[in-house]
Chains A and B, each alone.
Chain A
């Protein structure tokens, strides 16, 4: 809760804000005492206050005669030093306008010229706070503020204001009670219910302030509009021949229990024939339309936002992954893709197991592999951000199967002593290798695939007894990095049994062992010396150690 008290004079202003109401209350009590106690003159005036209750019912039984509106007022008059209840029969004391109390909230403004004027402060405030219940509030106000009311409707924003005037016989009497409902938006309203019976002593102003981004309480406005319109029509139906102005109610009796007394006035034929004033109806409709448009405006904004979200949502993420997910016929979402990827990985493993068991037991191949192959998804292991080749399911399976058969056949055809049975004993390692082959098959890295196939051809790789280059070079005293390069080339040829190598491959070995990578200057240096030869294979440069290079290695490091 927020509390603020401000003391203003012509020359100075003091303000205190707090969230502690006790502090504010204490301050207010002090200033209130000062307000009423500090001024000796005012204190003296207050001391002379007294109540004068005079209630006079001026209702007349002749409903065809213009009725003198009853004015019942309790006025706190600073000049007269009296609190008096007056009616039309009493000569009014001119109100000192310096004494006034305004009750305002951010949406609505209600002011009363007199703190002690009716309705009493508490009820006044309660009425105001409960003004959401428009009808109830209006009835309450009607019972309190009198009934001979007059409405003025206008648009405060455009400056246009359509006034309805009081009857001629009442014009001489300034209004005493007024109800103003103002909205500052374009569909603004200005309802003024004026009691035509006395000088201005009480005023109830209700103003709503709107901003373009905030819709305050259009429902409340609509309620008030509807209530006002209904009451207007009701009044018109009841008092179609009363006055050429818009009347909310015609209860001229201050006692709310009594029936309202009809007002009398001359009206035009046009107004007689119509239950409602078309001009005001148009305005009301325009106002309603404005309010609805305001509401619709917010909806439009929401819809625009929703459209934006929709447009974002309409971006089919699966399209992004479409190229890498072509094998998966149901590429509807990333989640499903991920799920299928996990499943496919497991199925890959199962398929490899089946394939190897097929090699051991060929007759079971069709039974074991077929169902798995039909569901396998090779691309599931690939990076979704990469663009990979699209394979048909059968194509991929055939490719995979042929690769596996080729690898196993190569292994069987190799002269190495390591047999397939040995491979099966190291099935775990082989499965990893095979999985790698499968993955690389589904990507476009053919070079790496070749290397891996070559690695698979090497029995040392499959048996797990391959000598690491770091361990191999540890036995030599190497002073120059070119010697390291040459030793690694010797290692590749004689240990890995690869006739040639790429710079990428040898650097992977060198970096793992020495933390360094060789550039072309090292290779060129050895090429110039004749220890390394260079040749091109399928648009890529391959290198190999020459016999001179091998002799140099043996002479320098093994002699």
Chain B
């Protein structure tokens, strides 16, 4: 089964999300992206 790793880096800080649930990873990815865009628009 495929295992998906989603990694975000900011300087020294790194968040890595790992799962074999492709749907959940996709949802989470989209959620984060929407949040970033939402925050950007709110500002």
Instruction: Assess the A102–B7 pair: CB atoms within 8 A.
Output: yes
Instruction: Assess the B4–A47 pair: CB atoms within 8 A.
Output: no
Given contacts A3-B18, A24-B19, A42-B10, contact A122 B26 (CB under 8 A): yes
B13 in complex: contacting residue of A2, A7, A50, A122, CB < 8 Å = A7
How many chain B residues touch A (Cβ–Cβ < 8 Å)? 35
Given contacts A32-B35, A103-B6, A129-B22, contact A47 B13 (CB under 8 A): no
Residues of A114-134 at the interface with B, using a CB-CB cut-off of 8 Å, are: 115-116, 120-122, 125-126, 129
Name the distance in Å between A1's Cβ and chain B's nearest Cβ: 4
Instruction: Assess the A98–B19 pair: CB atoms within 8 A.
Output: no
Residues of A within 8 A of B40 (CB): 46-47, 49-50, 83
- Across chains A and B, the number of contacting residue pairs, with CB separation under 8 Å, is 129
Q: Does A5 sit at the interface, judged by CB under 8 A? A: yes
Instruction: Assess the A6–B26 pair: CB atoms within 8 A.
Output: no
Query: Which single residue of chain B is at the shortest CB-CB distance from A21?
Result: B24
Instruction: Assess the A129–B26 pair: CB atoms within 8 A.
Output: yes
Instruction: Assess the A39–B10 pair: CB atoms within 8 A.
Output: yes
Interface size class of A (residues with CB under 8 A): 35 or more
Residues of B within 8 A of A106 (CB): 2-3
Given contacts A36-B39, A47-B43, A122-B29, contact A4 B9 (CB under 8 A): no
Residues of B14-43 at the interface with A, using a CB-CB cut-off of 8 Å, are: 14-22, 24-26, 28-30, 32-33, 35-37, 39-40, 43
Between A and B, 20 residue pairs with Cβ closer than 8 Å are: A3-B24, A4-B16, A6-B14, A21-B24, A28-B28, A49-B40, A49-B43, A50-B40, A98-B11, A100-B8, A101-B6, A102-B7, A103-B29, A104-B6, A116-B33, A116-B36, A120-B33, A121-B32, A122-B29, A125-B26
A residues in contact (CB < 8 Å) with B: 1-10, 21, 24-25, 28, 31-32, 35-36, 39, 42, 46-50, 78, 83, 98-108, 115-116, 120-122, 125-126, 129
B residues in contact (CB < 8 Å) with A: 2-22, 24-26, 28-30, 32-33, 35-37, 39-40, 43
